[in-house]
Amino acid sequence: MRCTLFKLSTLSLALMHALPATANDLDFTPFTPTQSDFGGVGLMQMPTGRVAPEGEFSLGVTMNDDYRHYHSSLQLMPWLEATIRYTQVPDRLYSNDDGFSGETYYTDKGIDVKVRLWEESYWLPETSIGLRDLGGTGLFDGEYIAASKHIGPFDFTAGIGWGYIGNRANLKGDTSLGDDCGRDTSYKGKGGSFDYARWFTGCMSVFGGVEYQTPWEPLSLKLEYDANDYKSDFAPNATQDSPFNMGAVYRFGNWGDIRASYERGNTWTVGFTLKTNFNTLAQNWIDTPTPAYNGAQGKSVEDIDWDRVAADLETIAGYGNTKVYADDESITVVGSQSKYRNRDFAHEKAAMILTNTGSKASTYHLVEQQANQTTIQTDIDAAAYRKVANQEYVGANVTETTTRVNPESARGMLQTDTSKPWSVSVNPSLQQSIGGSEDFYMFNIGVTAGASYWLTDNIEFGGGVYVNLYDNYDKFKYDVPPDGTDLKRVRTLVRQYISDNTVRVSNLQLTAFDKFGDSFYVQAYGGYLETMFAGVGGEVLYRPLNSNWAFGLDMNYVAQRDPNSEFGIFTEEVHYDPITGRYYRVQTGTPTGHFTTYYRPEWSWFDDLLIKASVGQYLAEDKGVTLDVSKQFDSGVIAGAYMAKTNLSAEEFGEGSFNKGFYISIPFDIFTVKPSASRALIGWTPLSRDGGQMLGRKYSLYSMTDARYPNSEFTNR
């Protein structure tokens, strides 16, 4: 591998610097990397050494007579690109069972990863190493090393590919062993596994190309030498008359582009891409301004209108359901923060409101709560803040006056209490599954209405009703597994819960919270815990203040709800399906729970990551580990992926081999004109299967206590 990298860099330098630079790069339109046919930065069929700016997110589709690629790429780190792709093959059906998949096209799921090894410099090209289709069935799996060098309006690329990318074997490989030069192209189990044993094996080819930025800024042209000969292609009609591909890209500013290319000497390909950047995504708010400093001082507690103070704290600083305690030494505000994700804004506004009361207090205590449980206390030095409010020195900032501490008991007398024992909410809901056998995209959209009442400060009774507005889960035919699996139907009965019930109680439970010491949080709950399961359980979380580590344990005993009864529970394990004439099993009662480690790396190469590893038993009684990794960008958008590997074999699990999925958590205030701490969660599940499935709990103690980590916005992951 080191030898290959050296040869590739040497070849790139020889080619690039043999071409004279006729003008300075500043004389040309800035070069912008574009997406390849497969998704991810590249030419057309071939990748390049380039990566997109950190945080760039794209959705695209590429179509020709042989393939339809639906792809999404995200530049997770400055050096790490990840791509998820679904490919349909119009000339092949999903399966030979018309009653199961009907006319659905064969669909392949793949994951690509590109790692930038080093950035471009005067002498060195930008160089990356990548894996294509590392998590699919191997239709397009290949590996590559690519280097790109920019000269004037031209961006040159040279690379070496293996597998599908390098099947031409113009550098190394014996095609007498087969079109793949002896590379193992089979896949393990039911697909979806990482077949790392065959990486960088088989045919090996050189590829290259150039992208030309025309003087007309929206238009760029591409030319590439394709290292694949398409002799082992899965599409039955894919042939090649020429190894050269040529194309054009027309960009619509920073938000998208359209592409057209003539490839293989016989095939027209078209596509488009929509994109944004999660780091720079922002919205201009119409916000309540921070009051001006009035300079008042020396007032006693009795002379202050505390009801007005509480109202201002809610409307201006975002602290709701507040209790305000005060004496001549301190003011303590206890409440929930629902307005600002960046708590520095809340601290600034709250400090100004309290300063303008003219109180004699020397310290302000802002105690944040979630579900009536205190999570973090921010102490503000009143004298130091008055200097900030009066702008007595350059660069004055509220952060210089604050200290984060564990919550303490409030001092002074209770002056006002705006907390309410009840709350109501209405939220849209979207559930979706992509790439299934019955239909490529299945979804349900509805509305969830919730209400809760606090019986005491620690005990809540609440519930929610889901109203299904529209879905296409009537196409979901996974009534009895046709692929030989015999797991209990803990998630694949989804159609009966959604399509067969327009209105359904999704949650109805009693929850008790408590806290022990400074760092232990606990909850216990019982009732109808989610749409499909009822039972009892509890969770304990150890989370020290400001620590990037936390540990949690949840334990539950649950049984599956009967979709044909609003409040019924399955009591018989075996059921008969009259349509298929086969029997299936459901979950009549099982313990389930996990021990979870939460870790926030504080490394420059892995900034703003949250890594969760959970070990335990799942709903289908399988045991294993779930790994969930998410990245937070500067805008507050969170992108994550998870995978669950259990003691089920690939054959027992069924298609996909193990459970996996992806999600994006988007702050509401990106799309609204007012700041908000609320979020919308969008998830992608490749397939609905029963292995590796966790209980959906109403509350997560880690999410509730997100404020205990400095500058955290990881709520609702």
For 401, phi then psi, to 5°, come to -110, 0
Instruction: Give percent helix, percent strand, percent coil of the chain, each to the nearest 5.
Output: 15, 45, 45
pLDDT band at residue 660 under the 50/70/90 scheme:
confident
326 and 311 in contact (C-beta within 8 Å)? no
Q: To 10 degrees, what angle do helices 306-315 and 343-355 make?
A: 160
Distances (CA, A) of 91 to 60, 64, 67, 164, 623: 21, 12, 9, 20, 39
Predicted pLDDT of residue 96:
67
What distance in Å separates the CA atoms of residue 125 and residue 700, rounded to the nearest whole number? 46
What distance in Å separates the CA atoms of residue 454 and residue 441, rounded to the nearest whole number? 40
Rounded percentage of the chain residues whose pLDDT exceeds 90: 66
The amino acid sitting at 530 is: E
pLDDT band at residue 441 under the 50/70/90 scheme:
confident
Q: Which of 123, 46, 117 is nearest to 81 (CA)?
A: 117
Q: What is the mean pLDDT of residues 437-448?
A: 78
- Report long-range pairs for 142-145 (Cβ below 8 Å, ≥24 apart): 142/166, 143/199, 143/200, 144/46, 144/47, 144/207, 145/4, 145/5, 145/8
Judged against a pLDDT cut of 80, whether residue 62 lies above it is answered with yes
Instruction: Classify residue 293 by burial, with Cβ atoms within 10 Å: 0-12, 13-18, 19+.
Output: middle
For the residues of 625-662, what is the DSSP string, one character each?
A: EEEEEEEE-TTS-EEEEEEEEES--HHHH-TTSSEEEE
What distance in Å separates the CA atoms of residue 672 and residue 495, rounded to the nearest whole number? 34
Number of Cβ within 10 Å of residue 186's Cβ equals 8
Predicted pLDDT of residue 607:
82
Predicted pLDDT of residue 192:
57
Query: Six-digit token pair at 580?
Result: 């298929």
Predicted pLDDT of residue 281:
87
Q: What is the mean pLDDT of residues 174-181?
A: 81
Mean pLDDT lowest among 485-499, 543-557, 623-637? 485-499
Query: Six-digit token pair at 689?
Result: 């299967």
Q: What is the mean pLDDT of residues 353-359?
A: 96
Predicted pLDDT of residue 47:
97
For 602, phi then psi, to 5°, come to -115, 55
pLDDT one-digit tens code per residue, 593-614:
999 999 999 888 888 899 999 9
pLDDT one-digit tens code per residue, 105-135:
888 888 999 999 999 999 999 999 999 998 6
What distance in Å separates the CA atoms of residue 694 and residue 699, rounded to the nearest whole number? 14
pLDDT band at residue 656 under the 50/70/90 scheme:
low
Predicted pLDDT of residue 16:
42
**Can you give 214-264 as a three-state secondary structure string?**
CCCCCEEEEEEECCCCCCCCCCCCCCCCCCEEEEEEEECCCCEEEEEEEEC
DSSP category for residue 674: S
pLDDT band at residue 139 under the 50/70/90 scheme:
confident
Judged against a pLDDT cut of 90, whether residue 4 lies above it is answered with no
Predicted pLDDT of residue 716:
40
Predicted pLDDT of residue 106:
85
The DSSP H or E segment spanning 491 is: none
Predicted pLDDT of residue 485:
57
pLDDT band at residue 95 under the 50/70/90 scheme:
low
pLDDT one-digit tens code per residue, 204-250:
999 999 999 999 999 999 999 999 999 988 898 999 999 999 999 99
pLDDT one-digit tens code per residue, 9-23:
444 444 444 444 434
Task: Using alpha carbons only, give the angle 380, 383, 389 rounded to the nearest 5 degrees.
Answer: 85
Three-class SS state of 595: strand
pLDDT band at residue 37 under the 50/70/90 scheme:
very high
The amino acid sitting at 429 is: S
313 and 350 in contact (C-beta within 8 Å)? yes
Q: Which of 150, 187, 177, 183 is nearest to 165 (CA)?
A: 183
The DSSP H or E segment spanning 347 is: helix 343-355
What distance in Å separates the CA atoms of residue 400 and residue 388, rounded to the nearest whole number? 9
Rg (CA), the chain: 29
Distances (CA, A) of 667 to 282, 287, 663, 715: 10, 16, 13, 10
Q: What is the mean pLDDT of the chain?
A: 88
Three-class SS state of 301: helix
Judged against a pLDDT cut of 70, whether residue 540 lies above it is answered with yes
Rounded percentage of the chain residues whose pLDDT exceeds 70: 89
CA atoms within 13 A on the CB side of 331: 30
Predicted pLDDT of residue 498:
78
Torsion sign over Cα 485, 488, 489, 490:
negative
pLDDT band at residue 477 under the 50/70/90 scheme:
low
pLDDT band at residue 102 under the 50/70/90 scheme:
low
Query: Six-digit token pair at 271?
Result: 């596509």
pLDDT one-digit tens code per residue, 255-275:
999 999 999 999 999 999 999
pTM, two decimal places: 0.88
Torsion sign over Cα 398, 402, 407, 413:
negative
Judged against a pLDDT cut of 60, whether residue 561 lies above it is answered with yes
Q: Which residue has the higher pLDDT, 11 or 55?
A: 55
598 and 610 in contact (C-beta within 8 Å)? yes
Number of Cβ within 10 Å of residue 144's Cβ equals 26
The amino acid sitting at 700 is: S
- Polymer length of the chain: 717
Mean pLDDT lowest among 55-64, 165-174, 428-437, 654-663? 428-437
Q: What is the mean pLDDT of residues 648-672?
A: 83
Strands 330-337 and 363-370, bridge-based pairing: parallel
Predicted pLDDT of residue 420:
93
DSSP category for residue 291: P
Predicted pLDDT of residue 435:
66
Judged against a pLDDT cut of 90, whether residue 415 lies above it is answered with yes
Q: What is the mean pLDDT of residues 392-418?
A: 94
DSSP lists the bridge partners of residue 460 as: 454, 511
